[in-house]
Every structure is written in structure tokens, then in C-alpha cells.
Amino acid sequence: MEYNDMVMDHFSNPRNVGTIEDASGVGTVGNAQCGDIMKVYLKIEGDVVQDAKFKTFGCGAAVATSSMATELIIGKTIKEALQITNKTVLDALGGLPSAKVHCSCLAEEALHAALWDYAQKNDIIIEGIKIPVETH
Ligand code: FES
């Protein structure tokens, strides 16, 4: 299985690892098949994602995609953030081996789950958001 340099870089030096104490939204998702878990924290002010952090208990591809997903979402409006799909993350990373493409879905789901949490906490409706599946 071949990982490109960009994926290896984000795996070896993941950006935005950590937590945000007073996060506006937190999303936790898991992949039932492999058992990997991803948690994303977002700081949202004035409709813009000011900061994003993550913790991933998962494979290298999950770490790399979380890292890239948080890089992509920082500075985006909520509407723009919703446009970030696993394909966006994959493209930004220059692709993953086909057997690992499913790992990138966790990143998309975690971003959506954190935005969902933000919407719930603030009693707002975000058009087009996917309701996250509960993870325990
Ligand atoms: Fe589980 Fe990659 S193998 S997310």
C-alpha cells in the first residue's frame, strides 16, 4: 500500500491535534467496522470557524484526513464548511490508496457532527447538515 508524501507528512506531523476547552461544537464519530474514533472540536464566532482541533484514535489515514480536514475548515463560514466532503479532503491530500478511502469518510462525518452540535447548542438550523449517528 502506497501513501503519498503529503499523506505521510500529515500522518507524521498532524496539524491541529488537541482539544478546545470552550468549543462551540464537538463531534465524535466512529467507524463500526474498524473501531476507529475521531473527535473534532470547533470554535465558531460570527458564522466563521475560527479554530479546529481533533483527536483521532485510529489508523494513519484517519489521522492524516483529520489533520487535513481541520486545516480546510479553519477560516470557512458554516456554509462553506458544509461543502467539505471526504472527496475534498482526499483531493487536498492527493488521494489515498483505495483500501483506505473509507477512512476519509470519518473526517467528513466528524466535521458535520461538530457543526450539528454547534447548531443544537445555539438552537439554529443549518441547511443541508447530516444528522450524526450517535457514538458511545
Ligand atoms: Fe479505520 Fe482507517 S482503518 S478509519
Structural domain span for residue 107: 5-120
Nearest CA to ligand 1 atom 4: 103
Q: The pTM is what?
A: 0.94
Q: Residue 126 domain-assigned?
A: no
Q: How far is the CA of 112 from the centre of ligand 1 (A)?
A: 18
Pocket test for ligand 1, best of 34, 89, 135 (most atoms within 8 A of CB): 34
**CA distance linking residue 68 with residue 126, whole number of Å:** 23
Q: Residue 88 domain-assigned?
A: yes
Q: Residue 136 domain-assigned?
A: no
Number of domains in the chain: 1
Q: Is the per-residue pLDDT at 134 higher than 80?
A: no
Instruction: For residue range 3-52, list pLDDT tens digits in order.
Output: 999 999 999 999 999 999 999 999 999 998 899 999 999 999 999 999 99
User: How high is the pLDDT of residue 95?
Assistant: 97
61 and 12 Cβ atoms separated by less than 8 Å: no
Q: Any idea what the CATH number is for the domain that residue 32 is in? A: 3.90.1010.10
Residues touching ligand 1 (Cβ under 6 Å) are: 31, 34, 36, 58-59, 61-62, 100, 103, 106
Reference 112, options 96, 133, 95, 87; nearest CA is 133
In this structure, what C-alpha cell is assigned to residue 34?
A: 474498524
**CA–CA distance from 31 to each of 4, 24, 120 (Å)?**
23, 24, 23
Reference 23, options 83, 84, 111, 90; nearest CA is 111
For residue 61, give the ligand 1 atom closest to its CA.
Answer: 2
